[in-house]
């Protein structure tokens, strides 16, 4: 069947209008995104991010439709088609029924469908030429602009895919079913202080949790339990799955049977807690505080603590990156910066990530004594302990170099970016944390995969479940732990068990667990990325020798190649279009003005 040329042109105009909409909404996000970041700095709520993203896309699309001289009803319908799905999907999210990541995924699918339906409803507007752009721009500048646009869209698309993938993988729940794994049974001594470490079902920061845990459990003078609202595997940063020791109810039962009380609660940064679970957590925190427990937040765990209302009217601190958002969301809290922790009686809040170690040492000072705290700092090789007083730390902020380094590494790092981490029995908790968080959340180099033959126990009795039994498909295989290195627990060379990779033992000597990891990042990737990771860990590295490339040249080269590729595609496409038009003129005569798609 032969399609009439005029119908082909109408279909072409319709499709081209749709492509224009997609380009316009993408430009809206690119141009308006930085404005939202300035107005709402540090806000990481799913609903706020979704609404601002929908607004960016809708504004960009509506502005272009005005330029195209579309009718106001058509613009209103298209705006509703773009923003409506996200608004509707947020309702089940607020009720805890729909996970945050599905709001954006399902919302985008529905948006593209409804955009097409809105265009079909008013197809006359999108297939005829009463909406021609009446700007007199020389044809050569239009062509050059198209080349620049496509040249930027290619690396932009790659950046979006890589960045979203890396962020999405950090706390992604495992997709396979796992047989129930029981945690190690811990003997409870009512003569010792009892400290509970809070985790949630959607994910917990691995360093915020495991750093303070090792410091406290390593003293041998504390009952340390990881507790959660429900009994299930908890994903930690980088895909390390933890089996909590107890649920809230089980902890209450244990303390009741032993006629004991909870002395302290440690709150690490919790990933996007569902509203229903957050309500359960905040009620539990208020209950423990009323019963006399010291409440300690680490890093962005301050957000959970502030949500409980327990910080209202009190001084508190958090990670430098999170403080602007916390100030905006919790104005009744007196937020301070530039110190490791704030001790305000029964509330202690710490700065970012590794500041949790000082928070744990402060707990030891208050529940036991300073000498025990000093020994605990020595055991984990923490050089920055300040007995009895919170040390001053730099008041950090984003700098131009930070933005460039993070953008290049998260978007265009060519690898090795899929990193296996072999779980070995008896590995220290800080050693595990250093491997899983530094290559992922703190540097955005890539994703980590927990590899092992079955459930393993850490040095102080936590239970972890690997996600892969083999190392196939990995770029590197890292083995954390000084003991593992001494025993060469994963072998000494490539084998079938290592997927043909050379096992790399991260911790060869007695030093703070994050030092060799930062040196590895500097050596394998580049020094600026290692320094950025240390900055976000709030870890001073003046005395850590970082040697390697002075700039992330590999991702920079990838960016340049993608820009050139995009420009080449645009130029080649233009040549093909011109050739097709030339053949069309030769076959049927020059088209009239009404046949030109503008």
Q: What is the pLDDT of residue 596?
A: 43
Query: Cα torsion for 107, 112, 113, 114, to the nearest 10°?
Result: 80
Q: What is the pLDDT of residue 593?
A: 45
> Which tokens is 276 given?
């229903």
Q: Give domain 194-380's CATH architecture.
A: 3-Layer(aba) Sandwich (3.40)
Locate the domains of the chain by residue range.
7-128, 194-380, 414-551
Is residue 262 within 8 Å of residue 255, measured between CB atoms?
Answer: yes
Would you give the distance in Å from CA 303 to the centre of its chain? 16
Q: List the helix and strand counts (H, then E) for the chain.
A: 19, 17
Q: What is the pLDDT of residue 537?
A: 97
Neighbour tally for 321: CB within 10 Å: 19
- Claim: this prediction has a pTM higher than 0.85: no
> Which tokens is 275 given?
């509203």
Among left, alpha and beta (phi > 0; psi -120 to 50; other), residue 353 is left
- Residue 274: closest CA among 95, 104, 101, 106: 95
Q: What is the DSSP string of 7-32?
A: HHHHHHHHHHHHHHHHHHHHHHHHHH
> d(Cα 431, Cα 241) in Å, to the nearest integer?
15
> Which tokens is 260 given?
């004991």
Q: What is the pLDDT of residue 237?
A: 96
Instruction: Please state, in angstroms and as integers, the Cα–Cα distance from residue 53 to each residue in 32, 38, 81, 329, 495, following that order.
Output: 9, 14, 14, 19, 47
Q: What is the pLDDT of residue 47?
A: 77
> d(Cα 273, Cα 229) in Å, to the nearest integer?
11
> d(Cα 550, Cα 552) in Å, to the nearest integer?
7
What DSSP element (H or E) covers 465? Answer: strand 463-465
CATH 3.40.50.880 for domain 414-551: yes
Phi and psi at residue 447, in whole multiples of 5°?
-125, 150
pLDDT in tens, the chain (598 residues): 444 556 777 777 788 888 888 888 888 887 887 666 655 555 556 778 788 888 888 998 888 888 888 888 888 888 998 888 888 888 887 776 676 667 877 888 888 888 888 888 888 888 765 555 555 556 666 667 677 777 777 888 888 788 878 888 889 888 887 878 999 999 999 999 999 999 999 999 999 999 999 999 999 999 999 999 987 899 999 999 999 999 999 999 999 999 999 999 999 999 988 889 999 999 999 999 999 999 999 999 999 999 999 999 999 999 999 998 899 899 999 999 999 999 999 999 999 999 999 999 999 999 999 999 999 999 999 999 999 999 999 999 888 888 889 889 999 999 899 999 999 999 999 999 999 999 999 999 999 999 999 999 999 999 999 999 988 899 999 999 999 999 999 998 999 889 899 999 999 999 999 999 999 999 999 999 999 999 999 999 999 999 999 999 999 999 999 989 988 888 888 788 778 878 877 876 545 444 444 4
Instruction: Note the residue count of the chain.
Output: 598
Helix 400-412 and helix 553-588, axial crossing angle in degrees, nearest 10:
70
Is residue 28 within 8 Å of residue 36, measured between CB atoms?
Answer: no
Is residue 308 within 8 Å of residue 301, measured between CB atoms?
Answer: no
Asked if the domains at 194-380 and 414-551 fall in one CATH topology, the answer is yes
Q: What is the pLDDT of residue 141?
A: 66
Q: What is the DSSP string of 331-364?
A: TTSEE--SBSEEEETTEEEE-STTHHHHHHHHHH
* Catalytic residue IDs: 299
Is residue 474 within 8 Å of residue 499, measured between CB atoms?
Answer: yes
């Amino acid at each position: 069947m032969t399609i009439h040329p005029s119908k082909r042109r109408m279909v072409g105009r319709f499709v081209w209008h749709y492509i224009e909409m997609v380009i316009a909404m993408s430009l809206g996000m690119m141009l308006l995104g930085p404005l939202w970041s300035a107005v709402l700095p540090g806000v990481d709520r799913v609903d706020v991010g979704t609404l601002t993203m929908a607004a960016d896309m809708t504004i960009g699309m509506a502005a272009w439709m005005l330029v195209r001289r579309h009718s106001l009803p058509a613009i209103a319908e298209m705006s509703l088609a773009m923003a409506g799905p996200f608004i509707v999907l947020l309702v089940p999210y607020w009720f805890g029924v729909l996970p945050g990541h599905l709001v954006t995924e399902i919302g985008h699918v529905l948006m593209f469908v409804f955009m097409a339906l809105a265009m079909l409803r008013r197809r006359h507007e999108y297939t005829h030429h009463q909406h021609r752009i009446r700007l007199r721009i020389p044809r050569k500048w239009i062509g050059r602009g198209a080349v620049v646009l496509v040249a930027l869209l290619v690396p932009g698309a790659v950046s979006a895919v890589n960045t979203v993938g890396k962020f999405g993988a950090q706390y992604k729940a495992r997709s396979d079913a796992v047989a129930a794994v029981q945690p190690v049974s811990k003997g409870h001594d009512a003569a010792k202080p009892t400290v509970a470490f809070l985790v949630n079902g959607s994910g917990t920061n691995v360093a915020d949790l495991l750093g303070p845990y090792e410091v406290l459990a390593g003293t041998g003078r504390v009952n340390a339990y990881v507790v959660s609202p429900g009994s299930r595997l908890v994903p930690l940063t980088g895909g390390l799955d933890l089996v909590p020791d107890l649920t809230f109810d089980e902890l209450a039962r244990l303390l009741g049977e032993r006629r004991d009380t909870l002395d302290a609660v440690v709150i690490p940064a919790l990933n996007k807690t569902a509203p229903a679970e957050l309500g359960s957590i905040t009620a539990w925190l208020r209950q423990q505080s009323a019963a006399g427990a010291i409440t300690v937040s680490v890093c962005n765990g301050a957000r959970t603590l502030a949500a409980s209302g327990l910080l209202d009217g009190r001084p508190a601190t958090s990670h430098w990156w999170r403080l602007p958002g916390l100030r905006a969301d919790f104005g009744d809290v007196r937020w301070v910066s530039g110190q490791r922790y704030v001790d305000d009686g029964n509330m202690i809040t710490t700065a970012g990530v590794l500041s949790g170690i000082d928070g744990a040492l402060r707990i030891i000072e208050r529940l036991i004594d300073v000498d025990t705290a000093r020994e605990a700092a020595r055991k984990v090789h923490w050089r920055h302990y300040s007995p009895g007083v919170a040390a001053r730390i730099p008041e950090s902020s984003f700098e131009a170099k930070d933005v460039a380094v993070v953008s290049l590494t998260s978007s265009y790092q060519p690898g090795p970016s899929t990193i296996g981490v072999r779980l070995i029995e008896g590995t220290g908790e800080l050693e595990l944390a250093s491997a899983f968080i530094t290559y992922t959340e703190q540097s955005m180099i890539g994703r980590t995969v927990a590899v092992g033959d079955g459930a393993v126990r850490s040095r102080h009795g936590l239970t972890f479940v690997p996600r892969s039994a083999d190392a196939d498909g990995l770029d590197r295989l890292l083995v954390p732990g000084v003991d593992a290195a001494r025993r060469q627990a994963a072998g000494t060379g490539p084998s079938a068990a290592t997927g043909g990779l050379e096992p790399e033992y991260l911790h060869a000597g007695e030093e703070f667990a994050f030092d060799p990891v930062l040196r590895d990042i500097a050596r394998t990737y580049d020094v600026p990325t290692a320094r950025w990771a240390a900055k976000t860990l709030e870890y001073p590295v003046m005395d850590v020798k970082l040697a390697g490339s002075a700039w992330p040249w590999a991702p920079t080269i990838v960016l340049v190649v993608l820009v050139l590729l995009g420009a080449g595609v645009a130029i080649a496409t233009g040549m093909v279009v011109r050739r097709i038009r030339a053949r069309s003129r030769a076959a049927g005569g020059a088209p009239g003005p009404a046949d030109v798609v503008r």
